[in-house]
Structure 1
């Protein structure tokens, strides 16, 4: 170890002896990080030299010498500095409130030495109106106008309602009007598929700048039923309630009407009745839910949903028939828990699961589509859960091999009542009550244990 100071000393001497010595050779260079500027900015561009054959001087793109600041040179001037041959000389070129005409090549000279810099002055693109609401009719065309002014002329790209770039096609046509710096997007044959937010994006790569304008397009159109088929088979469970949902989009917002339908007569159903309830949204992407109490009189009937607005009317038929009530799970076991999640394994020995074999399911043996979990925190001293405060979690399954399900975003260190039901297209089974009170862990305790194990591992690694 006694050789260490000597080695360090020798290394330091080596550093000193290898340090570069100053040269008496003249040099001249322009120091700047960028050559692209924006209109209105204030910039200082430094020219540096040493051991020069003459004084530093700046010349503008026309070849004229740039003078020091004076009453006549208030915007573009130089600021001379006292210098000696022992230290570098600096001569800053000052440009106040840059304008487009300042673009060009500037030369710094000293005797027969010179260096030049070509600067570009641009004007960042501006779109004065950045949001616009546009409304037009189904079957018409509409033109969206985007005026984007700047230097250099910006590249303009249009994006559709799905944020995808638009190119010219039978549906879209983009044109550019140079005199007004305006790009126009024409959308042909408007339909219910076109409403949404469109975007015009003007980009100046040289200035690393862009501006955007958003168009919120609405199209007045007749209602369009969003159910999958023109007619729908509805399976229900006897003596239970069944929700039948009719979905549609329309602008203006549609009205929904429900009626009992047969070949000769439609009996309109009022908002509420002894055997049904109707819940309807008032949005343009709307829906109406008919909740039926299923009895023998309800079955084998058709129910018609009529959707209407000033642009037109559409009907959708639902045929209600009896389906089987699924069997409940045969076993539900908690397999693991964390501070916020609990995982369960579910068995259903008597369930028929979905198989995509192209054969329609039989109403008396409809396949299980998934499970419904309902949980509510356990309250000390209460053995009967208050299910009105319960939270439901719905899980879809595609095969009988899918048996493990995790309920997430729970409170840590909390006991729960849990019950599970199977469900098919007709409804759900009776509840299966999970034994005991499944509980999430204490996150802080788990963290403390992990830290303890880490410290123990570090101790043994240092010791051995």
Structure 2
């Protein structure tokens, strides 16, 4: 039995009634695909013809007609007829209404031929200059015409004529960003959608803005001033790390100075005293307060080709906080330990207004925890410990969760108080806390379950 015969037998029109039906629905095809669309009929007034969107009757295959043609069944007749419309390689010009007709009977389907949008240079890195503009191109050719939208951080960018300007010329959807600042450093995404073809594509542009250094505080708040002063408190006979942080591109050059009588008296170059971060955007001055001569003013300057900033640190003595006097393990999980910690002899603020600026009685800011796994027969190796520095977020809160930690592990643990000047002495936490056992199936238990359940599901 041939395929044509199978299709004919599947029809079940009323006996004697004229019947005509296209065996396909209106569809969207990608350019280049091959399709065969069948039209069947019985008891017809005339033989079946296919008519193109241009109104032309489609002829059979010939040497001049090899792409779009019709094929008829060998037993084609008015009583029973089946005609296939063959499209060997779909093109955009094939889009439109195709009609199967026999006499006054006809049925039409709509064919849409689409070309998926192709984006060149899908990944780019672009440098822009502070105060200037930058333009990104997104050329998306396709049919039907794609919908194009620019995004940053998943938020759509709209044309506001001040900061963002979107220009559409032919297939190019160009985004211009004006008056660049450090905040514009980001990834920008041109998202291309052809819903009819279920096609999605995008182009990603990483923008790097070259800008002057900007000072950043410990809360990552940016200061737009070129100069700044800051009070720093140190504890006698201890080390104080003073961190100078900026955001800048290109990365800045840091210099530290010891100031005398309001002048930059001496450049500090000791490699053990001045340290730098891996990203090049911060520098740490390690101040060793061996006596009162270490107190006074220090200056950090950060310079790049776009500008410079500086900050002056006034270093004075502050009080060493008292250690906590109550520590209790109150909760544990497979990865965390929660402690109740208080210091009854410390200066604890009950509100933000109660924060003390008296160097001799600085307010406690939080606690530092150090944990290292217990090794039977060995003393704790505190140099290998992991330190967790936790702030007091609510003034009446005494619960602090430490983690992530390894599950089912016993730790040596200790804690100390922290204020603006530094840390108290360590207090050892006893007994040694242990994280919970992780809930997991072992290989043997999995095999046991398979052994039990297999007869039931076989």
Name the structure 2 match of 1:126: 118
Name the structure 2 match of 1:278: 274
Counterpart pick for 2:376 among 374, 380, 399: 380
Counterpart pick for 1:415 among 395, 398, 410: 410
CA distance in 1, matches of 2:60, 2:386: 79
CA distance in 1, matches of 2:98, 2:300: 77
- Structure 1 residue 220 corresponds to structure 2 residue 210: yes
Unaligned runs of 5+ in 2: 1-11, 447-458
**Secondary structure at 1:388 match in 2:** helix
**Secondary structure at 2:184 match in 1:** coil
Equivalent pair of 2:116/2:143 in contact (CA under 8 Å): yes
CA distance in 1, matches of 2:202, 2:441: 49
Equivalent pair of 1:253/1:282 in contact (CA under 8 Å): no
Map 1:333-344; keep pairs closer than 5 Å. 333-344=328-339
Name the structure 2 match of 1:143: 135
Equivalent pair of 1:39/1:98 in contact (CA under 8 Å): yes
**Secondary structure at 1:233 match in 2:** strand
Residues 324 and 29 (structure 1 numbering): CA distance in 2 closer, same or farther, change over 3 Å? farther
CA distance in 2, matches of 1:441, 1:136: 51
Counterpart pick for 2:229 among 228, 231, 237: 231
CA distance in 1, matches of 2:409, 2:127: 52
Deviations 1:239-294 (A, max 9, x none): 11111111112222211010111313421101336xxx11113636x100111112
Name the structure 2 match of 1:366: 362
CA distance in 1, matches of 2:396, 2:42: 82
Map 1:49-64; keep pairs closer than 5 Å. 49=41, 55-64=47-56
Map 1:320-339; keep pairs closer than 5 Å. 320-339=315-334
Counterpart pick for 1:310 among 305, 316, 337: 305
Name the structure 2 match of 1:175: 167
Between Structure 1 and Structure 2, how many residues are aligned?
A: 421
Deviations 1:390-422 (A, max 9, x none): 111222222343222333343332211111122
Cα-Cα RMSD: 3.1
**Secondary structure at 2:377 match in 1:** coil
Equivalent pair of 2:60/2:70 in contact (CA under 8 Å): yes
TM-score (norm 1): 0.81
Counterpart pick for 2:198 among 208, 225, 230: 208
Which range moves more in the overlay, 87-96 or 214-223? Answer: 87-96
Residues 412 and 220 (structure 1 numbering): CA distance in 2 closer, same or farther, change over 3 Å? closer
CA distance in 1, matches of 2:276, 2:355: 35
Name the structure 1 match of 2:64: 72
Residues 63 and 280 (structure 1 numbering): CA distance in 2 closer, same or farther, change over 3 Å? same
Name the structure 1 match of 2:453: none
CA distance in 2, matches of 1:398, 1:98: 66
Residues 100 and 327 (structure 1 numbering): CA distance in 2 closer, same or farther, change over 3 Å? same
CA distance in 1, matches of 2:354, 2:40: 82
Counterpart pick for 1:439 among 434, 452, 455: 434
- Structure 1 residue 158 corresponds to structure 2 residue 150: yes
Deviations 1:394-451 (A, max 9, x none): 222223432223333433322111111221222122112111221223335899xxx9
TM-score (norm 2): 0.82
CA distance in 1, matches of 2:82, 2:404: 64
